[in-house]
Amino acid sequence: MLESKEQSTHIQDHLHELSRALESGAFVRVRRMLNALPAPTIAHLLESSPHTAREVLWQLVEKNNEGEVLNYLNEDIQADILGKLSPEEVASLTEGLETDDMADILQMLPEQVIYQVLLAMDEQDRNRLESVLSYPEDTAGGLLNTDTITVRRSTTLDVVLRYLRRHNEIPHMTDNILVTSKDDHLVGILPLRKLLVSDPNLTVEEVMITDYHAIPVDMSEREVAQLFERMDLVSAPVVDQDGRLLGRITIDDVVDVIRDDAEHSLLGMHGLDEEEDTFAPVLKTSKRRAIWLGINLVNAFIAATVISRFSDTIDEVVALAILMTVVANMGGVAGNQTLTLVIRSMAIGQIGKTNQRWLMNRELQVAMLNGVVLASVAGAIATLWFSDLKLGIIFATAMIINLFTAALAGAFLPLFLKSMKIDPALAGSMAMTTVTDVVGFLAFLGLATVFY
């Protein structure tokens, strides 16, 4: 945490220094300062800069560094930059990037532009990219990197070592050498840690591991991330349905999946895009948020309509207007607790058909227990506050009803939304608010109407 704070402070210092240099017109100095930084830091500085300053900074990034910097930017900014480039410029910019990173960048472009970019590439890069682009972006195929080292099982370790020494460097994140047959079927892996300490006269087959984790090309990226997390993997081979080696996935791409998933869950519950540019122009940001706010306005009117049906009762007992928001608020908080827990458990693969019923029963029991305890306290406070026992009983009963409903909705809504192919993280919170508001007001004001 301390290192992270120091790094953040360091980046803010760079940003402040660059801003001062930009304002003074010292572009030569800014270019020198900017390109002396690592690509991830340059990307962070661009993301942390207002829109106008960002355009100037991007023009000052050296051409041979643009591709790597672009790779570290969020998708919103990537799309903005790519939209201003020709297919030839995109092809030149992405040259030298890993296959999966090139595919991620190209997938944001229209199909016709992708086709033109591929034509502008050399044949080797084009063939590698086409193989990755043929798979959905959210699967193992969309994450795989074709840059691998393969050997045959009959080869001696001495030959493997001499082969490796002929290269200036090996592919990034290489912890295993992949062992394949003549027809490219994956038959095992040779860990570098075993290669370096084993007798050079042994063959690969004598040292290789056959109990390994090969990832099917159609596995979802979320399942891939769970596998890496559960098995502490650094890299893993990807195979097709026939067991032929297609490439590998490395931990740096899996970390991106985990981070994106976490940001999606956090920001999606508030109607924000995880790739949204923090410093995007006003109109662009306003359009995106207006849709969510409009939907929320409709939900607010639904709740207001429920309240309007009991206007006579509220006029008669003014205390209802004070207490009814408490009932809705308590239900909303309790419901979102359950909702968040279920969405998280679904994301990490803990919820299935065998345990859904148990979880729902548990949440209902928790809601009933908390409802009775909290409603008793709240009812007593309302009775003493307004000197009205009847009001206290109504208040407590409505709170129990809403807490119970909130728990039921929190456990059921994510499962229902997922079955309807709707993202629970995006729609769950909004639906939960509507349910708890409507049920809370209806229960409290409805009971009050009956008793008063």
How confident is the model over 380-404, as pLDDT tens digits? Answer: 999 999 999 999 999 999 999 999 9
Decide which of 83, 114, 143 is a domain's last residue.
143
Q: Is residue 258 part of a domain?
A: no
Per-residue pLDDT, averaged over 106-116, amounts to 82
pLDDT category at 244 given cuts 50, 70, 90 is very high
Structural domain of 53: 2-143
| pLDDT for 2 | 40
**418 vs 292, which has greater pLDDT?**
418
Say whether pLDDT at 56 is over 90: no
Closest Cα to residue 88, out of 120, 113, 123?
Answer: 120
**272 vs 254, which has greater pLDDT?**
254
> Average pLDDT over the chain, rounded to whole?
85
**273 vs 24, which has greater pLDDT?**
24
Q: Is residue 120 part of a domain?
A: yes
> Among 284-293, 328-337, 436-445, which stretch is predicted with the lowest mean pLDDT?
284-293
Judgement on whether residues 423 and 388 belong to the same structural domain of the protein: yes
CATH of the domain at 306: 1.10.357.20
| pLDDT for 1 | 41
Say whether pLDDT at 261 is over 50: yes
| pLDDT for 157 | 95
Say whether pLDDT at 189 is over 90: yes
pLDDT by residue (tens digit) across 338-368? Answer: 888 888 787 767 787 778 888 888 888 988 8
**343 vs 218, which has greater pLDDT?**
218
Judgement on whether residues 20 and 126 belong to the same structural domain of the protein: yes
Judgement on whether residues 350 and 303 belong to the same structural domain of the protein: yes
Q: Is residue 274 part of a domain?
A: no
Judgement on whether residues 245 and 287 belong to the same structural domain of the protein: no
- Structural domains in the chain (count): 3
> Which of 2-6, 165-169, 181-185 holds the top average pLDDT?
181-185
